[in-house]
Chain A
Amino acid sequence: MIGYVILSQSGQPINYYIQLMQRIRLLKDKIISKLMLLFTILSVSLVFIIGIGLYYKSIPVLQNSTWGHLLTSSVWKPLKGLFGFYPYIMGTLWVTGIAIIIALPLCVLTSLYIVEYAHSRVRRILMPFVNLLSGIPPVIFGVWGVLFIIPLIQDHIAPHFVEFSTGYSVLAGGIVLAVMIFPLIVSILNEVLRTMPQELKDASLALGATKWETIKKVILRKALPGIIAATVLAISRAFGETIAVLMVCGNNAVVPHSVFDAGYPLPALIANNYGDMMSIPLYDSALMFAALLLFIIILLFNIISRIILSRLERKMAA
């Protein structure tokens, strides 16, 4: 481009400096967009890198046993090289299940109150509190669980159902976890409910429906995909929550048979033993396998819920 002079309409030579700047601007634009793409690819591929890494580190324990045996055996004797993950898998499922069963109805009712019933002034006061809850570090929830939930279960709840319970149980883990996922679900549901068109509510009210009838038959139905999406996100988080749960759920490697039994979720297994038990052969590989399991559970769960969600959306449109 250098070597000939471009004349503008008035006959003046165009400043090459301006042309150069123009080129640099366009170049910047290109570089930035490519950089963004690169970082996006990097962060997405991180999922695969972690998955592959975990699998690679799990190979020793997998060579020593089989997938089927590791998943279904309840025998945990590291010194003999026996690693059965069934109790840990069940511990994870119990705690997460209890948490969702407790949290979901509370969250739906809370969000409905905040969005549909509360005065805007009340809403402005309530929402920061809900958000504050999500900012509290997990270890504080753990301590709170030990100090309040454990005695509550031991002295007041369990005696009605079983002969003896220490309080350290999957129920305690579930309750603490429920409180922890509460703000997450509520804030998503608030968004979902706030985007419901007022005209849709008016349509129902104008037919003589009460507010509750409108909520039950129209709003909740319309919000169902959003409620499911919020639940999925909360469950994914609950699966991995470690410290607060391991403080209250007893950490006993047996399959729980009631909510008052102790359980031992996968994240607690990893956190409790990593670094301590490394002298035992295969132990670190077994912990890596535990991490891989957790990873697979969350991955599968997300895939399945995505399928359900898209089916549901298609069904609602059909």
Chain B
Amino acid sequence: MGKVVALAGNPNVGKSTLFNELTGLKQHTGNWTGKTVESARGSYTYEGCRYEIVDLPGCYSLLSHSEEEEIARDYICFRQPDIVVVVCDATCLERSLCLALQVLEVAERVVVCVNLMDEAEKKKIYVRLNQLSEELGVPTVGITAREGRGLKGLFQIIQKLESENIGKRNAVTYPPVIERAIERLEPAVRWELGEEIDTHWICARLLDADNGLLKALENFTNKSFEQGDRIWEALADVKRELEEDGYTEELVEDTIAETFVRRSEEICGRVIQIGKENYDRRDRILDGIFASRLTGIPVMLLLLFLIFWLTICGANVPSQFLMKSFAKLEEILLTGAVNTGVPKSIYEPVIFGMYHVTSWVVAVMLPPMSIFFPLFTLLEDFGYLSRAAYNLDRCFQSCRACGKQALTMCMGFGCNAAGVTGCRIIDSPRERLIAVITNSFVPCNGRFPTILAMISLFIVGTDEGILSSFLSAVVLAGVIVLGIGVTLLVSAGLSRTILKGMPSSFALELPPYRMPQIGKVLIRSVFDRTLFVLGRAVVSAAPAGLLIWILANSSVGEISILEYCAQFLDPFARLMGLDGVILLAFILGLPANEIVLPIAAMLYLSKGTLMNLGEGVRLWEILVQNGWTASTAVSTILFSLMHWPCATTCQTIYKETKSMKWTLISILVPAVTGIVFCMGFTGLVHLCTKIIYL
């Protein structure tokens, strides 16, 4: 077991980048605040020594009360890693240092690691590292994690630090009133806790009215602190005395917090030299394009459209190619199986069930995903996502929700389960629940191909050409905008009914724009995200294909079980403009949304209308033969956009909310919304046709 090195730091200072550089792991990074919400682990070997690296969630301070901050605080304080590396941002050292000072207060062996040195240099912000080291009393090192520069130096220092004997140092001195109060409180704390933890620190936190800390202390010591105990009594006494001096609880809190800010201001005044005053001119000009009154929203819509258009244009040809190749391979497999005498009862389920669904999922999902993901990641790295949240915040505010919900929705594009986990960046529990419940209104990449297929098959037409792909992109962007609209509508509804409340305060950081590292992004998206998600899809598609084929083709009496189910669902599905088969496919697609369409196709095929699979039956023919029209396709799109979240997402929701009730609500809300929308649309279509025929 190697030494444990914990990485702490503000959000978006490049902790995850450093972590990835060190461990070779692929923790997802992105240029926005709150990217890492769980602490990741990995290992790094330097000169034969193995270190275990822990990437703590980003936090602004150890004083606050949000979940990530408590995780970081408890880890540093109670799990006592061997070394804490505080990662700072050279371009805004003042703020990063506040956290560093707080860490210095509690941890013994600390290295202050100033990241983004290259960016600072470009902005002509110079950090005198030696002087910083003197001011803080700990070693400092400047790095550029993106390029892996300075990592060796960091570990040289870590190695040296290990063997050194560290005395106590005073990172900050509180104003006399507070120091006196701490002194008064310390004996009682020492009595209860011994010397194991830094009592000065504990006392300061107790004065800080930090109730979460008492709980953490109880867990740590296995003692329970109740009213009437020594600590409680001493604390009450000290607080009373402070109040007599005019120091209310609030003022004490402020004074403590301000101590760190002022100390950091003081240090930075000495160690930082600014070359030019308008160092962020470029960022502000870009904000003028991406987040201004005039262009903010149009540019956002344009970007959305552009991403879809590039995805559709680029995906068409490889998708067709894969389809054809898979169909050819299927023929070969089929003849091979027949010629070698494999019994029909084996090759049929394997080829028509397993192979068919899997190959469909691959052919339809792989090309758009391997284009969409990199493009999206480029925007993310560039720093655009926070701007999107900034542009849209007003809408969320009037729905009494949090603007950061837009960020969680962006994550939902990749995977709703990830989006739900990402909701932790929202501080208010009420607003977080709203974001969790509405996250599935953003189509994840599993539903994306279904929607895309519907659009190109029934609405725009499948001709290859600029115009049709242009139209497809417009329609797709429209579907997404509809999803955003429904998200807002439902959020507003929830805020006025079961999650009543007013919007809480909101502070969203707008990070500097960064030139994305295109090569890295490409490699990362293809290998990490695309292949991972595809692997997941295949893992669920293959067994599901097999199982459902068997179910669809083994009959009890006259008809198969699935057909019976489909018939049972049919009347209800018709009301929604669907049919029993596709609704059943949506239900069977619960494990993974990717398999909805292939399941539907298989169910139609098993009815025996078409069996010449070997010639590569086109999906469109299957669907049309079963009575599909453009209106069925629209209903399918609507229901694909709004129905229950997939099983993984449901599981994640349960994990995040720890409540069956909210999980159920998260399933019901989108499902009911989808049913209402589909029925409304179908009703409208019927009405229109009636009027036309009149």
- A associates with B: no
Chain B positions near chain A (C-beta within 8 angstroms): none
Residues of A within 8 A of B (CB): none
